[in-house]
A and B are shown apart, each in its own frame.
Chain A
Amino acid sequence: MTRMTTEQALTQALHEEMRRDERVLLMGEGAATKRPALAREFGPARVRNTPLAEAIIAGTAVGAAASGLRPVIDLLFAPCLTYAMDALVNSAGKLRYLSGGLCEFPLVTLAMTGSGWCVGGQHNHNLEAMFVHAPGLHVLMPSTAADSKGLLKAAIRDENPVLFFIDLGLLHQEGEVSDDPGDIVPIGKAAVPRHGRDVTLVSYAKTVPVCLQAAAELEQRGVSAEVIDLRSLKPLDTTCVLDSIARTGRLIIVHEASGLCGIAAELAALAVTRAFDALRAPVVRVTGPDAPAASSWALEQAAVPQAQQVVDAVLGLGLTGGHGGAAGEPAWRARA
């Protein structure tokens, strides 16, 4: 294991996979300038600076993927993805199916998003759910350096088009990362960074540390919270979430993206359709608002779920600690 930032872990994943498979190439605006060691090792044919033109970068990647290459494209910021939407959504996501399974699109699209840099809504927009909604795509959004490396490697080896979201707020955070080039993190498997009995907190990306902080505070109050890091938004590890609900009976989902038609809504639907009998309280969502990200630090931070909000949401279920049972009248029941 080596300690490194998420950014370094991602670059290491690219190095290892490009060494392993000569069909892998990296393209993007400044892809070669920003990763000079990659450019040196693999040369200008495989590490390409492109014109500033997301639509054709993505389109080229889709065409190349259907023709024997395994492109990784770096489109910088998630809002820039809308220029690339046609190639990714209409072509990569649909043409395998519409051709009767005649082609594959093994390509990875990297994009950064999330608060922390005060860049405002045209650089910071957690729009991952839009891609979850589009058939044919896989969508990943890890929270640790180790998962960033392992999942990017898995994404490059995947036969499906993968959207890989990088949380800006986690880019420079360090973690222990495996040195074994053979290690990958399988797509579609959630992680459980903290086990608990009373309530399940499900999250991904920067709100995973928020949930872990909330869980630590809840422990002080005698409430035992389990934290699930989805890592992969599509495919979604429904087994992991359902198993946890079966044990805790309570589900709270936390993410920075807007709640409307988001991952939390999907998990709430999962809970009521597949675990209704296990639920001992309403499902609660703690999410960002239905508003573009503001640049002002004060507003940017106000939009991001904080640990205290998660603690309050858990306590609002009437949990007072110790035994996993509701003591007294839960707040939601009083409101009902």
Chain B
Amino acid sequence: MTESQTQTLLRQFETLLLIRACEEQLVELNRQGAPDTCSSIGQEACAVGVIDALEARDRILTNHRSAAHLIARGAEPERIFAEVLGRIDGYCGGRSGTLHIAARELGIVLTSTIVGGELSLAPGVALAQKMGHGDPGAITAVFFGDGAACEGIFHEALNLAALWQLPLLFVCENNQWQAYVHRLETMADAAITAWAEGHGIATQSVDGNDIEAVHSAAKSAVAAIRADGRPQFLELRTYRLRGHSGQDDQAYVNADELRYWRSRDPLLLLRQRLSEAGGLDAHTFAALQHDAHTRIEQAVAFAQASPWPDAASLTEQVYA
């Protein structure tokens, strides 16, 4: 590993730690009575690997499981926590709460918690780019789950993007679960990429817990889109290490499967990789982890001190 590769991985590792600390804190706040959140614990490498392959000019759409995407894109944890707690300093002034956080200043332009909503909107965002609204050469990336691939709108979006040659990167975080249903109860094992290929879209399927694999697949997909303007499809095979949301006890999850994927925790894998390359000793690891937790503690304090929205603003912003 070259020195610059090590530095890149180390920076990515810091982001993974920050996301993990954020998600764990959100679970803890929910245990204490704050709203439910859908945590991306176990899927952090997908967010960081892909978003690191994008540029500031690119646009992103996401869904209900968005904290990792937001932080990977540089969102301030302060404003994420404020949003989840429904306070005015949140990215959406508390109106969104955890489920629909958009941060347009970061290029995270639309977030839908209606499963498949993000897929329905992404072709339009890419169409606007293609028609000159946006920075030249910019592309759109849409994050969605394996469950969203079951909605009819998935096929409608893929067909249109292929037909109209839209600069759109489809990123399916296949975390094996669709709320309380295992995906193998809803689709054939290799269905997702086969469906994408059926629409004539170039596809890669990689280990979503291996950040290097994700990053390199994303880089090549992004380069291809910028070169020929056609959509690309990434399936990231990963695992939702926690329940669907909040305090879900995962009683319905197969224990062996969970154990297997815990042993493949993306943070664990990257830490091992960095240690082997001599880029991360125990002391540095402890320091990084401490930094992440401190940052999150500050964010929570900020959010808890942030005011509630004024009830008089209830009907503002409904219409233009």
Contact = CB atoms under 8 A, between A and B. Distances in A.
Given A49-B185, A295-B99, A79 B151 contact: no
B35 interface: yes
B252 interface: yes
Interface stretch (B68-76, B205-213, B311-319): B311-319
B178 A52 contact: yes
B187 interface: yes
The A contact surface, by secondary structure, is: loop
A289 B315 contact: yes
Contacts of A117: 35-36
Nearest to B87: A296
Interface string B94-131: 11111110000000000011111100000000000000
Nearest to B311: A302
Contacts of B224: none
A290 interface: yes
Contact of A297 (B86, B113, B153, B313): B86
Contact of A118 (B86, B151, B186): B86
Contacts of A299: 86, 94-95, 309, 311, 313-314
A299 B181 CA distance: 33
Contact of A119 (B99, B116, B150, B185): B99
B308 interface: yes
B314 to A, nearest CB: 5
The B contact surface, by secondary structure, is: loop
Nearest to B308: A298
Interface stretch (A28-36, A132-140, A179-187): A28-36
B34 to A, nearest CB: 9
B86 A295 contact: yes
B98 A79 contact: no
B305 interface: no
Contact of B95 (A30, A34, A119, A120): A120
Interface in A65-87: 79-80, 82-83
Given A119-B35, A299-B314, A303-B314, A34 B180 contact: yes
Contacts of A80: 114-115
A295 B95 contact: yes
B148 A56 contact: no
Interface in B176-233: 178-181, 185-187
Given A291-B315, A295-B35, A298-B308, A50 B94 contact: no
Contacts of A291: 314-315, 318
Nearest to A296: B86
B147 A298 contact: no
A122 B318 contact: no
Contacts of A56: 152
B311 A52 contact: no
B112 A122 contact: yes
Contacts of B314: 289, 291, 294, 299, 302-303
Interface residues of A, number: 35
A312 B115 CA distance: 41
Contacts of A298: 86, 94, 308-311
Given A117-B35, A302-B311, A294 B95 contact: yes
Contacts of B100: 120, 122
A246 B316 CA distance: 40
B16 to A, nearest CB: 27
Contacts of A53: 150-152
Given A119-B35, A119-B99, A51 B94 contact: no
Given A52-B186, A79-B114, A299-B309, A292 B318 contact: yes
B186 A50 contact: yes
B120 to A, nearest CB: 10
Interface string B287-320: 0000000000000000000001111011100100
Contacts of B151: 52-55, 83
B187 A51 contact: yes
Contacts of A123: 99, 113
A149 B171 CA distance: 43
Given A80-B114, A299-B309, A122 B99 contact: yes
A89 B30 CA distance: 38
A327 B71 CA distance: 63
A120 B179 contact: no
B84 to A, nearest CB: 9
B97 A295 contact: yes
Nearest to B178: A52
Contact of B148 (A52, A82, A122, A302): A52
B318 A295 contact: no
B315 A290 contact: yes
Nearest to B90: A296
Nearest to B313: A299
A296 B152 contact: no
Nearest to A298: B308
Given A33-B181, A298-B86, 7 more contacts: A29-B147, A49-B181, A53-B151, A119-B35, A119-B36, A298-B308, A298-B310
Interface of B: 35-36, 86-87, 94-100, 112-117, 147-148, 150-153, 178-181, 185-187, 252, 308-311, 313-315, 318
11 contacts: A30-B181, A33-B180, A51-B187, A52-B178, A52-B186, A55-B151, A80-B114, A118-B86, A296-B94, A298-B308, A299-B95
Interface of A: 29-30, 33-34, 49-56, 79-80, 82-83, 117-120, 122-123, 289-292, 294-300, 302-303
